Amino acid sequence: MLWKAAAIGLALAAGIGAAHAQNLTMAVGAPVTSLDPHYHQLSPNNAAASMIYSRLVETDNLARMQPGLALSWTAVEPTVWEFKLRPGIRFHNGREFTADDVAFTLARIPNVPNSPASFTTFVRPITRVEVVDPLTIRLHTATPYPLLPMDMTNIFILDRETHEGATTERFNSGELAVGTGPFRMVRHANGDRIELERNDQYFGERPAFARVAYRMITNDSARTAALLAGDVDVIDQVPTADIARLRRDNRVSLQEITGLRMIYLSLDHMREDGSPFITDNDGRPLPRNPLKDLRVRRALSMAIDRPAIVERVMEGSATATGQFLAQGIHSHIPGYPVPRFDTEGARRLLAEAGYPNGFRITLHGPNDRYPNDARIIQAIGQMWTRAGVRTAVEAQTWATFVGRAGRQEFSAFLLGWGMNPDGSHPLRNLIACFNRDTGLGASNRGRYCNPQLDAGLAASSQNLDPASREQQLIALERMALDDVAVIPLHIQTNVWAARRGFTVTPRADELTRAQDVRPAN
């Protein structure tokens, strides 16, 4: 171990960085479970897929759409999107990429067997696929659908000849892990590592490293230790507890970006008369649900010291927020304030609402899902208790928690939401009235419901003019937040750490990919 460290030290001192530059070893915290790009819609799988396969529409590190296998896309009619494809693209096995492969891919997606989370949601709006010529494809929808190009940023394109009838196992074994992406698959050890080599024919920017070992080290401490020991060059999901120490260590550098994941509190909007985990100060159930009162919701939001949570619990790797999306991202509400921490103000509002002595509540949350999740709810418990709402805190494993939250068993609970960079995404999923048939409000576990907002959302969802659509969405977000439909807490910062000699372009969408790593000077 000492020898190794010494050797690495010498190598760095002698500037042999160039010799290393052909190889890259990186470690990620979340395991890639499959190399079938349509089997399980899961960030780590999407990250691995985006090294091997390509999409019609790619996204840059700020989640903005960029040309991928499609050079351009336009709504040629209100219900028809036309994609012009990039000519001269070949799959890793030499086969040519054409519009027919896109049609094949879109047809495969709903038919992947055993898929626990499929990509079907993204292709369901498409009513008809029309191959105009080998480099032009038209996708028809029933109603005007402005989100279609964004949906295409989730779909990795496969080859009809290669992948007709392909099973997930044959992708996992590496046999059929064939795409048009910047890397080719060399070896895959499930749950352990993926070895890749550069695809010199890649149409985009040429990757900096010829060979890549993409390892999965799920234990936070082990990942940091591997970086410090020089076993790996880059790690993702740097644990907040280690950030301060790594910042001081001049052998490594941290690369950070404000992400797209908002951590928030969801409240019971469903019940009028009493909520299961709210009682008066003597433990008797309350006749009505105080959370239905806007003043109470505002008081609870105001009683939270967000900067303290960011600084003390998240150790700086988050941004306090009062809204869904971070600055610089589509549909961010310019100038919308982070609710000011004001314990006295919260007490006054509670008194106005008829609770001068507060009440008791239990705040629930997971303990193994988001960074420091159980610590955050405990901290909020402290703050609410000081504002007069005596809070008990209960953390459960995600496996137990999410089921109960989905059955509306809680009164107030912590959740996180990874956004698409578009206001319609949180609004449709978290805020819109729950509707089994339309699929709206699918993750609206507090069952907030505002018909006026839903009407506005319906109008915006058919608006093909980007600028006026964004203004519509911003107005709707404001409506939801002014009504405290949920209590936003902070937006997580995504942190990567790299050894000296390497640098990572941090991505807002949390994906860790080899093509984003470059040698540093």
Partner 1 sequence: MALYLLRRLMQSGFVLVAMSLLVFLGVYAVGDPVEILISPDADQEERERAVRALGLDLPLWQQYAVFVGRALQGDLGRSFVFNEPAIQLILQRMPATLELAFGSMFISILIGLPLGLYAGLKPEGRLSKTIMAGSILGFSLPSFWVGLMLIMLFAVQLGWLPSTGRGETALLFGTRWSFLTADGLAHILLPAINLSLFKISLVIRLTRAGVRETMLMDYVKFARAKGLTPFRITFVHVFKNIMIPVVTVLGLELGGTIAFSVVTESVFAWPGMGKLIIDSINVLDRPVIVAYLMMIVLMFIIINLVVDIVYTLLDPRVRLEGKA
Partner 2 sequence: MSATTAPRVETPFQRFVSEFFASKLAVLGLVVFTIIVLVALLAPLIAPQDPYDLAVLDIMDGRLEPGSVGGSGITHWLGTDDQGRDMLSGIMYGLRISLVVGVGSAVIAAAVGATLGLLAAYVGGKTDTLIMRLVDLQLSFPAILAALMILAFLGKGIFNVVFAIVVVEWAYYARTVRGNALVERQREYIEAARCLALPPRRILFGHLLPNCLPPLIVVGTMQIARAIALEATLSFLGLGVPITEPSLGLLISNGYEYMLSGKYWISFYPGIALLITIVSINLVGDQLRDVLNPRLKK
Is residue 402 close enough to count as binding partner 2 by CB under 8 A? no
* Beta-carbon contacts of residue 491 (< 8 Å; ≥ 6 apart): 258, 259, 260, 261, 262, 263, 318, 319, 321, 325, 326
Question: In whole angstroms, how close is the CB of 280 to partner 2 at the nearest point?
Answer: 17
What does the alpha-carbon distance between residue 163 and residue 167 come to, in Å, rounded to a whole number?
9
Half-sphere exposure of 410 (CA within 13 A, CB side): 27
User: Which member of 7, 399, 455, 520 binds partner 1 (CB under 8 A)?
Assistant: 399
Cα separations in angstroms, 492 against 305, 335, 423: 16, 19, 17
- Sign of the torsion angle spanned by Cα atoms 371, 375, 377, 383: negative
Q: In terms of CB distance, is 358 or 421 closer to partner 2?
A: 358
User: Which member of 25, 153, 168, 503 binds partner 1 (CB under 8 A)?
Assistant: 168
34 binds, among partner 2, partner 1, none (CB under 5 to 8 A by kind): partner 1
Is residue 221 close enough to count as binding partner 1 by CB under 8 A? yes
192 binds, among partner 1, partner 2, none (CB under 5 to 8 A by kind): partner 1
User: Which member of 173, 190, 385, 471 binds partner 2 (CB under 8 A)?
Assistant: 385
Asked if residues 41 and 154 have their Cβ atoms less than 8 Å apart, the reply is: yes
Count of beta carbons in the 10 Å neighbourhood of residue 340: 11
Total residues contacting partner 1 by CB under 8 A comes to 54
Cα separations in angstroms, 468 against 19, 362, 414, 429, 462: 52, 42, 33, 21, 11
Helix, strand, or coil (residue 307): helix
Asked if residues 263 and 493 have their Cβ atoms less than 8 Å apart, the reply is: no
Asked if residues 292 and 450 have their Cβ atoms less than 8 Å apart, the reply is: no
| Type of residue at 285 | P
Q: In terms of CB distance, is 173 or 378 closer to partner 2?
A: 378
Is residue 374 close enough to count as binding partner 2 by CB under 8 A? yes
Window of 279-287, 355-363, 370-378, 418-426 that interacts with partner 1 by CB under 8 A: 418-426
Question: In whole angstroms, how close is the CB of 190 to partner 1 at the nearest point?
Answer: 6
Residues 91-120, mask of contacts with partner 1 (x by CB under 8 A): ----------------------xxxxxx-x
Count of beta carbons in the 10 Å neighbourhood of residue 294: 13
User: Which member of 72, 93, 400, 462 binds partner 1 (CB under 8 A)?
Assistant: 400
Is residue 172 close enough to count as binding partner 1 by CB under 8 A? yes
Cα R_g (the chain), whole angstroms? 25
Residues 197-216, mask of contacts with partner 1 (x by CB under 8 A): --------------------
340 binds, among partner 1, partner 2, none (CB under 5 to 8 A by kind): none
Is residue 333 close enough to count as binding partner 1 by CB under 8 A? no
Cα separations in angstroms, 327 against 120, 316, 321: 31, 17, 10
Q: DSSP labels for 55-72?
A: BSEEE-TT--EEESSEEE
Question: In whole angstroms, how close is the CB of 247 to partner 2 at the nearest point?
Answer: 11
Residues 314-333 that bind partner 2 (CB under 8 A): none
User: Which member of 74, 93, 219, 281 binds partner 1 (CB under 8 A)?
Assistant: 219
Asked if residues 378 and 365 have their Cβ atoms less than 8 Å apart, the reply is: no
Is residue 467 close enough to count as binding partner 1 by CB under 8 A? no
Q: In terms of CB distance, is 227 or 432 closer to partner 2?
A: 227
Cα separations in angstroms, 506 against 126, 259, 497: 33, 9, 10
Residues 360-389, mask of contacts with partner 1 (x by CB under 8 A): --------x---------------------
User: Which member of 101, 242, 422, 477 binds partner 2 (CB under 8 A)?
Assistant: 242
Residues 226-285 that bind partner 1 (CB under 8 A): 226, 229
Question: In whole angstroms, how close is the CB of 372 to partner 2 at the nearest point?
Answer: 8
Is residue 418 close enough to count as binding partner 1 by CB under 8 A? yes
State the Cα angle at 269 between 266 and 274, rounded to 5°: 115
Asked if residues 141 and 126 have their Cβ atoms less than 8 Å apart, the reply is: yes
24 binds, among partner 2, partner 1, none (CB under 5 to 8 A by kind): none
Q: DSSP labels for 396-455?
A: E-HHHHHHHHHTT--SEEEEEEEPPSSTHHHIIIIISPP-TTT-TTTT-TT----HHHHH
Is residue 61 close enough to count as binding partner 2 by CB under 8 A? no
Helix, strand, or coil (residue 283): coil
Write down the H helix ranges in 109-205: 120-123, 148-151, 160-163, 168-172
Residues 178-197, mask of contacts with partner 1 (x by CB under 8 A): ------------xxx-----
Question: In whole angstroms, how close is the CB of 356 to partner 1 at the nearest point?
Answer: 39
Residues making up the chain, counted from first to last: 521
Which residues contact partner 1 by CB under 8 A?
1-2, 4, 33-34, 36, 39-42, 113-118, 120-121, 124, 168-169, 172, 190-192, 217-219, 221-222, 225-226, 229, 368, 397-400, 402-403, 406, 417-418, 420, 425, 428-429, 436-440, 442-443
Which residues contact partner 2 by CB under 8 A?
220-221, 224-225, 239, 241-242, 244-245, 308-309, 312-313, 367-368, 374-375, 378-379, 381-382, 385-386, 390-397, 400
